[in-house]
Structure 1
Amino acid sequence: MSKVTIYDVARVADVSLATVSRVLNNPEKVKPKTRERVLTAIKELGYRPNAIARGLASRRSTNVGLIVPTCSRASASEMIDGVADIADKYRYSVFLNVTHNENDIANNAWQNMIASQVDGVLMMADKLTDDEVERLATDTVPTVLLSVKDLEGRLPAVLIDYELAAYEATKKLIENGNKDIAFITSSSHHAMNDLKEQGYRRALEEAGLEPRVLGLYTKFESSLNAFKEFFDNNKAPEAALAVRDSVAVMFMNAAIDHGINVPQDLEIIGFQNTKYAIMSRPQLSTINIPTYDIGAVAMRLLTKLMKEEEITETQITLPHSFVWRQTTR
């Protein structure tokens, strides 16, 4: 007979892993009816919590969960450094969960993290549904979003003003005399990319110019072909703003391969100021996002939430800046 697990208890009691975990460790935080249902399932199944895990959970140490969709992005690694440095100052243990699937973050990844007895969660997730946000916001374990936000402000978040940053970057391209300015974005929905697009469109509308939104970016390999096909079959824009540095560099390389001069014939601005901006030739002008600071500030905010300290601001916007290099005039 296979060993009964916490997953079996959650299934029989028809609750989340997080709820089972709270019944075992913080029962006073669970509604009596729900608590009774979980306890009944535990008794019927003969579930025995792992003694070592329970012993670790009972210690006074603080455990923080950090959930990211990938570590391959340069911005993600810098943000993790910011989280880790502040966590080290507080002597927290940080458990990293790399999902490789943004659609999984608010379901299995988050529930598994809660079941691991973390005291708080930091999360990078750009594809949260309204129901998922509502569930995370009402849970007793505090969760802070990194570099993204719930547009209704239900979850604490640390990020920059993406709309304003894109607006200012587009204004710069307009001031340089460009009229045909493209916005290079993802072919799939990302909430923060939508904010960037809003800023781009606002600047064009004020200047009386028409937008040219190109949803060309998917995954790295397929994007290279998409950019090549674009320049094979379309007139190149005079300027472009891309949602990420890596996207800007791929677009620029495809343009150069088609004999287009950067920045004389095509100006390009990226987003984030990652290593790609420095490594590209010509070097990329970009919007600087303080990713390390976002991680550090989010960790400090989560600390206050875990300690139930008074907080005056849960939506923290850090300042962005611009780094002008060789892809703009």
Structure 2
Amino acid sequence: MSTKVTIYEVALAARVSLATVSRVLNNPEKVKPDTRDRVLKVIKELGYRPNAIARGLASRKTTTVGVLISDITRASVAEMLGGISDIAMKYSYSIKLFSAHENANMEDLLNDIVAEQVDGLLLLNDELDSNQMKATKETLERNEIPFVLANVIYDDKTVPSVSIDYEKAGYEITKLMVEQGKKNIYLLSTVRKYSVNDQKELGYSNAMKESGLEPKIFRTSGNTSVNRQHFANFFSDKVIDGAIGVRDSIAVSFMNIANESGRTVPGQVVVAGFQNTKYGILSRPTMTSIDIPVYDIGAVAMRLLTKLMNKETPDSLQVVLPHYIVRRESL
């Protein structure tokens, strides 16, 4: 029999998940005897031979956690990984990074994650739409892989998550500008869809409408070389006295163009950002921003996943961490 039989074929023939086949190979004592016998019978019949890496996993002592990201270059993602890795190190966990680029085939990616035999998964990818999130949830649950959303918004209270209240944050920063008498306030959001940005936009729009003002959302790119071009003619055809960037980098890029166009900040235009990254501190003037505890989000998400992997019942599946506004010179 060919040695090219895959673990997928074994799972299909034995009518079990990939995770179950993996446990039969690596931790057989954790599998019900009848299921274990059925899988072993199929393995023998098909002539399946685990590769050297899989065989080595049989005696492993560490726990492997997968982390699914969209773009590691984003400041918030890098800082969140810091929180995750610090907690993972404390528990002697190893981490495997998986990247889902804009056009990634999620079905193939999820199959790769399952095949890597991770014990749990942290999802940092906030670009997945509701259908992709549903498919991800179903695949992970079917393969008995616990998972936690970290800084990702998904409208399903059964899904473990750690984040802040982005709708409330968007509302609060907008109301602060309104209370200063600003009426033409733009939200500088992204063309690409992100679950957290949807909530920021909702909070902003609610605050504007509540104040009798028209919401004005301008969509651009998180890439500064692109959004600078978008902002270049911003002041030629718009009346604007306030701007909120869904990322600090977008807000600072806008503020630079405002200064170059002869608009004083905060004299003529007030500006604020989200995340409270180094961009806001290094900008001139320094920039007001919503502080999002991304390091803590990563650390708390890792702790929550640890409980789920150990079959413990957490105090709450939905953890909402506090945020606050850091006032600086731009507002």
Length-normalised TM-score, structure 2: 0.86
Q: Which position in structure 1 is the counterpart of 2:196?
A: 192
The answer to which of 215-224 and 161-170 deviates more is: 215-224
Residues 236-272 of structure 1 deviation map (CA, whole Å, 9 limit, x = unaligned): 4110111111111111122222211111111111000
Distance of aligned partners of 1:105 and 1:315 in 2 relative to their CA distance in 1, 3 Å threshold: farther
Give the SS at the match of 1:327. coil
Q: Which position in structure 2 is the counterpart of 1:112?
A: 112
Measure, in 2, the Cα distance between the counterparts of 1:178 and 1:39: 72
Distance of aligned partners of 1:214 and 1:54 in 2 relative to their CA distance in 1, 3 Å threshold: same
Measure, in 1, the Cα distance between the counterparts of 2:5 and 2:252: 48
Which of 127, 151, 157 is 2:161 aligned to?
157
Give the SS at the match of 1:235. coil
Distance of aligned partners of 1:117 and 1:260 in 2 relative to their CA distance in 1, 3 Å threshold: same
Which of 246, 262, 266 is 2:249 aligned to?
246
Measure, in 2, the Cα distance between the counterparts of 1:119 and 1:193: 30
Give the SS at the match of 1:60. coil
Kept in 2, the 8 Å contact 1:244–1:272? The answer is yes
Which of 323, 326, 330 is 1:323 aligned to?
326
- Cα deviation, residue 157, structure 1: 0.7
One-letter amino acid of the counterpart of residue 260, structure 2: D
Q: Which runs of 4+ in 1 moved over 4 A?
A: 10-30, 35-44
What does residue range 92-107 of structure 1 map to in structure 2 within 5 Å? 92-97=93-98, 99=99, 101-102=101-102, 104=104, 106-107=106-107
Distance of aligned partners of 1:269 and 1:3 in 2 relative to their CA distance in 1, 3 Å threshold: farther
Measure, in 2, the Cα distance between the counterparts of 1:39 and 1:126: 42
Q: Which position in structure 2 is the counterpart of 1:300?
A: 303
What does residue range 46-65 of structure 1 map to in structure 2 within 5 Å? 46-65=47-66
- 1:83 equivalent to 2:84? Answer yes
- 1:276 equivalent to 2:290? Answer no
Distance of aligned partners of 1:229 and 1:91 in 2 relative to their CA distance in 1, 3 Å threshold: same
Distance of aligned partners of 1:236 and 1:5 in 2 relative to their CA distance in 1, 3 Å threshold: farther
Kept in 1, the 8 Å contact 2:291–2:326? The answer is yes
Residues 196-253 of structure 1 deviation map (CA, whole Å, 9 limit, x = unaligned): 1111011111111111111122544322211214334x22411011111111111112
Kept in 1, the 8 Å contact 2:188–2:217? The answer is yes
Residues 11-70 of structure 1 deviation map (CA, whole Å, 9 limit, x = unaligned): 98699866764665568779x99x9799759854x4421133232244232111112112
Q: Which position in structure 2 is the counterpart of 1:311?
A: 314
One-letter amino acid of the counterpart of residue 161, structure 2: A
Residues 148-202 of structure 1 deviation map (CA, whole Å, 9 limit, x = unaligned): 1211223211000000011010010001110111111011222211111111011
Measure, in 1, the Cα distance between the counterparts of 2:148 and 2:182: 39
Flag structure 1 segments of 5+ consecutive residues without an equivalent. Answer: none
Give the SS at the match of 1:104. coil
Which of 125, 143, 147 is 2:147 aligned to?
143
The answer to which of 201-210 and 218-227 deviates more is: 218-227
Give the SS at the match of 1:94. strand
Kept in 2, the 8 Å contact 1:17–1:112? The answer is no
The answer to which of 73-82 and 125-134 deviates more is: 125-134
- Cα deviation, residue 295, structure 1: 0.7
Distance of aligned partners of 1:181 and 1:85 in 2 relative to their CA distance in 1, 3 Å threshold: same
Give the SS at the match of 1:111. helix
- Cα deviation, residue 135, structure 1: 1.4
Measure, in 2, the Cα distance between the counterparts of 1:255 and 1:6: 58
Measure, in 2, the Cα distance between the counterparts of 1:42 and 1:196: 55
Q: Which position in structure 2 is the counterpart of 1:267?
A: 270
Kept in 1, the 8 Å contact 2:110–2:136? The answer is no
One-letter amino acid of the counterpart of residue 256, structure 1: N
- 1:74 equivalent to 2:75? Answer yes
Kept in 2, the 8 Å contact 1:137–1:154? The answer is no
One-letter amino acid of the counterpart of residue 170, structure 2: A
Flag structure 2 segments of 5+ consecutive residues without an equivalent. Answer: none
Measure, in 1, the Cα distance between the counterparts of 2:251 and 2:12: 50
One-letter amino acid of the counterpart of residue 119, structure 2: D
Measure, in 2, the Cα distance between the counterparts of 1:146 and 1:205: 30
Distance of aligned partners of 1:277 and 1:108 in 2 relative to their CA distance in 1, 3 Å threshold: farther
- 1:225 equivalent to 2:229? Answer yes
Distance of aligned partners of 1:57 and 1:105 in 2 relative to their CA distance in 1, 3 Å threshold: farther
Measure, in 1, the Cα distance between the counterparts of 2:41 and 2:83: 40
One-letter amino acid of the counterpart of residue 185, structure 2: I
